[in-house]
Structure formats: structure tokens, C-alpha cells
Chains A and B, each alone.
Chain A
């Protein structure tokens, strides 16, 4: 009987502690998440971002970004993609012709020094200005145009697959803007 009472008291104190901690950190956690997204978008677009509007459909978040000097651009964030070591989340920025401007890997757990090269500029550079029409989105090992990271074909496939999916979703969302950029 004493055991039940002691455990109940400990449980109540533990629950109260966690409730207080949750309450205190809720704001900072939401702010940190927003900031990460904003910083990621700022890394993709060359102009200074003034405001971001986001809308979600089927797990994909679309961003309408406007710059301080009236620039505007779009981006989208895919739900998770299976990588080599876990799930990858990618934020993709598009240029005015609905091609890839740049992308940013928001979360990943690929092997350090190997699969994590997908986040680096050397690897990202090959996708800039590429769309559904002017690029074969398979890795070179599979007969495509993507120059895969050495010894990290699975990570490279995950990224090129995600980018291709992003391009298709973007073209579906903005059929007028992207007319003519769809693959025949």
C-alpha cells in the first residue's frame, strides 16, 4: 500500500514538472522551428527575404517568398524521403522558369563524410537551372545525368528523386506559370 502511495506521489510530481517544462519551452521551440525554416529559405534565395507565406497540401508545404525590393519566388518543402541512414527532408527553391534554383537539406542522418556530401555546394551545383525537360534525374550509375557522390549512391538517388518529385509537384501546383516546362 505504501508503495502505491509513493509511486502516485512521484508520478504526480513528475507530470507537473514535465507540464511546466513543456509550457516554458513551447514558445522557444516553435520560434526555433520557424527560424530554421526562414534561415534555410534565406540560404536558397539570393535576395533579402522580407516575408514568407506558406500553405500546405498533402504533406507538401509551398512557400511564397517575397524580397525587400519586390522580388518574389517560390519554394516547397517535401515530406520525408527515405535516405540511406534515415529520413531526409528537403527544401527546394525554384527560379522563374520553374527550374531548380537550389535546395537545402533540412534534416538528414546520412553517414558523416560520405552521404552527408549531399548537403554540400559541390554536389548541389549540378542541379542549378535544371528542370524536368533538360535533365535526366537518374544517377549516372542508372544511366542518368546526376553525378552521384562516390560511395553514396543511395543518398544521391534519394536527393535526385526528391528534387524530381518536387519539380513535378511544383508544375502541378502552378500549371500556368510552368507551362512548357513539363516533360513531353
Chain B
């Protein structure tokens, strides 16, 4: 695989949410508004890139039987750094994402990439893999959040996009069942598209 393919595979072909079906907890929970989806996507991408980089560097020194705890410590360190940075520089985002920032530690996408890719590959492909997977995760979150925010709240990224007088938002989409339905439809669409090709 070329470096470009290592990067691009995560966006659609091996999209962590829509194809590999990982990381559903944050996907369902924070996609009520597009801005939250972007914030969560950026935080996760940062953690993915940094942990892939660190793990690609140290993997050959780590004995097989203690690798998982070592990866978790590395991932938790980066998550803590991200959490502190968000608290310091974006208190509003911190208030909106709340508990889901520390929970990035247990997002299976990150441990999954560490185990399946970064531990077996050199540094540069690992960084690109993390970046691609992070962008794919962000992409899936933003699409789902767009559906939910437009139908459930009548806005997109905070702007009023439905100009119809007397439009009443479909609250179903803002609530958890709307997240499940929206995510299911997205996964079905991606699968149908790929089968056709």
C-alpha cells in the first residue's frame, strides 16, 4: 500500500464508524450538534495521531504480554493532555462534551489502530493511518450530527437553515432514538453504495 492509501483508507473504505463499526458511544452521544461533533472529532484525531506515533516508536521494546496495558497508559496520557487543553482554551466545548472527553481513552478505534496498525508499522505510515482514521471518524460524526441538528433543531452549525415559517423541529432526531436511526441509515447507505461498485 502506498502512503496515500494508508491515509485515505480510513475516510470511506475502512471508515472506523461506518465500515468497521467501532466507537459508537461517542458517535451516538455527542452528535446532537455539529459543533460538538467537530470538537469530538478533532480531539479524537489528535489522540489517534499522537498515540499511533508514540506506539510505532516504542512497540518493539514492549514485550508481547504487557502490550495492552502499555498502550492504554500511552493513550490515557494523550487524552489527559487533550482534556486539559480543552478546559484551558475552550471551556464551552468542555461543557458540551463533558464526560465524553475522558472517555476517549476507551474508544475502541484508538486501541484498535494501536494494536492492528501502529504496533506493526513504521512511524510515518502510522501517523498517516491515525490521521485518516481520525478524519473518517470526524466525517461520520459530522454527517450524523448534520442530520440530527437540521431535523431536530432546525439549524446547522448554529445557523438557522430552515427558512420555512412555522417549521417545528422533529424532536425525535435530537433524542437518542434519532441517533440510532440516523446511524443505522448511514451504515446502510455506505454498504449499499459499496455493494453497487
Contact = CB atoms under 8 A, between A and B. Distances in A.
A114 B174 contact: yes
A10 interface: yes
B33 interface: yes
Given A11-B73, A112-B32, A6 B62 contact: yes
A109 interface: yes
B74 A7 contact: no
Given A28-B88, A32-B91, A113-B174, A10 B65 contact: no
Interface string A1-41: 01100110011001001100110010011001100100000
Nearest to A17: B77
A18 B91 contact: no
Chain B binding surface SS class: helix
B89 A32 contact: yes
Given A22-B84, A111-B175, A14 B76 contact: yes
Interface of A: 2-3, 6-7, 10-11, 14, 17-18, 21-22, 25, 28-29, 32-33, 36, 86, 107, 109, 111-114, 151
Given A10-B73, A14-B74, A17-B77, 13 more contacts: A2-B63, A3-B66, A6-B61, A7-B66, A7-B73, A17-B81, A21-B85, A25-B87, A32-B89, A112-B33, A113-B153, A113-B169, A113-B171
Interface of B: 32-33, 58, 61-63, 65-66, 69-70, 73-74, 76-77, 80-81, 84-85, 87-89, 91, 95, 98, 149, 152-154, 169, 171, 174-175
